[in-house]
Amino acid sequence: MTNLLLGLFGGVGLFLLGMTLLTDGLRSFAGDSLRKALLRFTGQPIKAFLSGTLATAVVQASSATTITMIGFVSAGLLTFPRALGVVLGASLGSTSTGWLVALFGLNVGIGHFAFPVTAAGAFLRLAAPGRWKSFGTAVAGFGLMFVGIGHLQFAMKDVTALVDFASLPVGGWGERLLIVLVGVVLTVLMQSSGAAIATTLTALSVNSVSLDQAALVVIGASIGTTFTGVAASIGASVPARRTALAVTLFTVFAGAGVFLTLPFFLKVLFRVTDALGLVSAPLRLAAFHTSFVAVGVAIVLPFTNRFARFVERILPDRDPSLTSHLDDSLLTLPAVALEAVARVLRTAASEALDSLLLAMSSTADEARIGRLGQALLTTQEFFSRIPPQPEHAEAASTREALLHAMDHLVRLGAYLNPVESVRSALADPHLEEPARVARETVELARDGIRGQLPNGWLPVVEKNSKFLRNWNVRERPRLLEQTAAGSSLAFDTLQLLDTMRWMARAVDHVSRICHYLRQRDFDESPAEHERRLA
């Protein structure tokens, strides 16, 4: 009995380890390309659906795609309705694991296929350069999955000799529901619907369970996999929780539909699979999994927007905060977490520039300035917990740029509530031209940060900032000379000097913030930019 349990748990463990290595290896090998591809192909619902299906079939983990989508929505990179199509595609793409196991895993010898593939992957992991190490990890994981399936087959044969589960009745609703719950529990315990389905396929291949029983377990496994997304959305933003809820509602809807119509559904499936020559029980089970998910997608996909509005009514977003996109769930996706920080900083910069304009014209909004300061503290704390990616040059450059932007935003905060003497001196005739340039520059920067201007606004901001610095350097000694000669009062001169310095430094921070947060690729490194403006 001990050997039997060790064989079962060992086989499941090897399969899970193989899937984890395959998923992690492929994601690391793809780098940022997979994230960019998912973002690019999420416009129309059908495009989003196809991208979700393909991405999940490639990485062999619907939970990975779903968690990535939750991350995108949390970070504000995708709207909730656009993410729905990808999530529906992930549900269908996850059925590819069953086909992989049914077509290859149950029909190849461990020694002739799985062990050599695992060995080749391990060799690549150790000897290959650069990101090919990650590809080696994926190959080793692929082979290890089939090693696990081989051990499961041996263990399942011993189980069949002890207990004939296939002979147990499944005609009543109570028995069916109990088997579905078994599938749910298996998936929750294994944290992988793929592992639960692979175990079920292996049991079916050695006649440990009947096809009806296996179909019910697959329904439960599909429902059980939603727990991963739900767990990832705990404490997340409202849009992220909406995504997790939508996945759960869809999966329960599709599972309940096929559960209630199982005899009819299987009867139709048998006719179709017989016509296609898919006569083995494992292939029929793989076809069953794909079919019932595909039927659910076909029903829901045309009504994606209505479905989204229904979920939004269940989970309304009543009071979105400035840092609502900074979810801890994003820390597992460093590139997405950096995008979330960038979006928060753009919003914070927009708020800061509004506050600066208000300070130039009337009185400061101290409540808004306080909220902004707290948001920046929260953002700094979140940013410090994002795992570094030194192997990715683009991520490292983005990280450095965001750090510069935060630094200048914090420094700009000191200029948002100037003393009354500085505010009144802005109306002095001596400062008419620089005050006008400063206001126009801040307005231009604010509209540019918000994406309301075409390209070309940033050089104007930098040019105006340089003008104010030079004007300050040029006019400062002249005013001091006039005061020393008795042409003006020392008190008035000091006020003008303070105001000139306040304008020049505030607009300089504005210029640098705009550079680091502008929405296009950098044409120079952050260090080069700082040296150029020094």
pLDDT per residue over 139-168, tens digit each?
888 788 777 777 666 666 555 444 445 555
Among 18-32, 253-267, 327-341, 517-531, name the one with the lowest average pLDDT: 517-531
More confident residue, 324 or 509: 509
pLDDT, position 3: 58
Half-sphere exposure in the Cβ direction for 125 (13 Å, CA): 19
pLDDT at 254 over 70: yes
pLDDT, position 235: 66
What is the distance between the alpha carbons of residues 305 and 315, in angstroms, rounded to a whole number? 15
Give Cα 266 to chain centroid, integer Å: 37
More confident residue, 501 or 320: 501
- The length of the chain in residues reads 534
Q: Which two tokens stand for residue 335?
A: 């590139």
Mean per-residue pLDDT, 281-302: 90
pLDDT band for position 512 (50/70/90)?
very high
pLDDT, position 225: 80
Mean per-residue pLDDT, 103-115: 66
User: What crossing angle do the helices spanning 62-75 and 334-361 adopt, rounded to 10°?
Assistant: 10
CB contact at 8 A, 343 and 75: yes
Give Cα 242 to chain centroid, integer Å: 14
Q: Which residue has the tokens 């040059």?
A: 393
pLDDT, position 377: 92
pLDDT, position 402: 92
Q: Which two tokens stand for residue 414?
A: 């000191």
What is the distance between the alpha carbons of residues 55 and 73, in angstroms, rounded to a whole number? 17
What is the distance between the alpha carbons of residues 289 and 473, in angstroms, rounded to a whole number? 74
Mean per-residue pLDDT, 309-318: 83
CB contact at 8 A, 73 and 83: yes
pLDDT band for position 43 (50/70/90)?
low
pLDDT, position 384: 92
Counting DSSP H helices and E strands in the chain, the numbers are: 24, 0
* Cα–Cα–Cα angle for 22, 27, 31, rounded to 5 degrees: 145
Mean per-residue pLDDT, 417-427: 82
pTM of the entire structure? 0.64
C-alpha pair distances (Å), 66 with each of 74, 88, 170, 454 = 12, 9, 33, 35
What is the distance between the alpha carbons of residues 427 and 225, in angstroms, rounded to a whole number? 65
pLDDT band for position 408 (50/70/90)?
very high
pLDDT at 299 over 70: yes
Neighbours of 358 (CB within 10 A): 16
Please name the residue ranges forming H helices in 76-172.
80-93, 96-100, 115-127, 132-162
Among 65-74, 387-396, 520-529, name the one with the lowest average pLDDT: 520-529
More confident residue, 297 or 97: 297
pLDDT band for position 410 (50/70/90)?
very high
Residues 6+ apart with CB under 8 A from 169: 175
What is the distance between the alpha carbons of residues 356 and 360, in angstroms, rounded to a whole number? 6
pLDDT, position 163: 44
pLDDT, position 305: 84
Q: Which of 407, 404, 425, 406 is nearest to 502 (CA)?
A: 425
pLDDT, position 161: 46
Domain extent listing, the chain: 2-314, 328-533
Mean per-residue pLDDT, 103-121: 72
Mean per-residue pLDDT, 350-377: 87
Mean pLDDT (the chain) is 79
Among 12-26, 77-91, 422-436, 496-510, name the one with the lowest average pLDDT: 12-26
What is the distance between the alpha carbons of residues 150 and 202, in angstroms, rounded to a whole number? 9
pLDDT at 115 over 60: yes
Q: Which two tokens stand for residue 243?
A: 């995504």
pLDDT, position 506: 93
pLDDT, position 467: 92
pLDDT band for position 532 (50/70/90)?
very low
* Cα–Cα–Cα angle for 243, 221, 60, rounded to 5 degrees: 70
Mean per-residue pLDDT, 129-136: 78
What is the distance between the alpha carbons of residues 176 and 259, in angstroms, rounded to a whole number? 8
pLDDT at 48 over 80: no
Mean per-residue pLDDT, 454-474: 90
C-alpha pair distances (Å), 225 with each of 187, 232, 242, 251, 477 = 6, 12, 17, 9, 71
pLDDT, position 465: 93
Mean per-residue pLDDT, 3-25: 70
What is the distance between the alpha carbons of residues 299 and 372, in angstroms, rounded to a whole number? 45
pLDDT at 523 over 50: no
pLDDT at 100 over 50: yes
C-alpha pair distances (Å), 61 with each of 98, 289, 292 = 12, 15, 18
pLDDT at 208 over 90: no
pLDDT, position 529: 44
Residues 6+ apart with CB under 8 A from 498: 421, 422, 425
Alpha-carbon dihedral sign for residues 217, 21, 281, 271 = positive
Q: Which two tokens stand for residue 267?
A: 């009867």
pLDDT band for position 533 (50/70/90)?
very low
Domain 328-533 falls in which CATH fold?
Methane Monooxygenase Hydroxylase; Chain G, domain 1 (1.20.58)
pLDDT at 388 over 80: yes
Q: Which of 503, 499, 521, 500 is nearest to 511 (CA)?
A: 503
Side chain identity at 173, as an amino acid letter?
Answer: W
Neighbours of 47 (CB within 10 A): 16
Q: Which two tokens stand for residue 17?
A: 């380890």
% of the chain with per-residue pLDDT over 90: 17
Q: Which two tokens stand for residue 417?
A: 């509530």
pLDDT at 73 over 80: no
- The DSSP secondary structure of 391-442, one letter per residue, reads T-HHHHHHHHHHHHHHHHHHHHHTTSS--HHHHHHTTSGGGHHHHHHHHHHH
CB contact at 8 A, 342 and 383: no
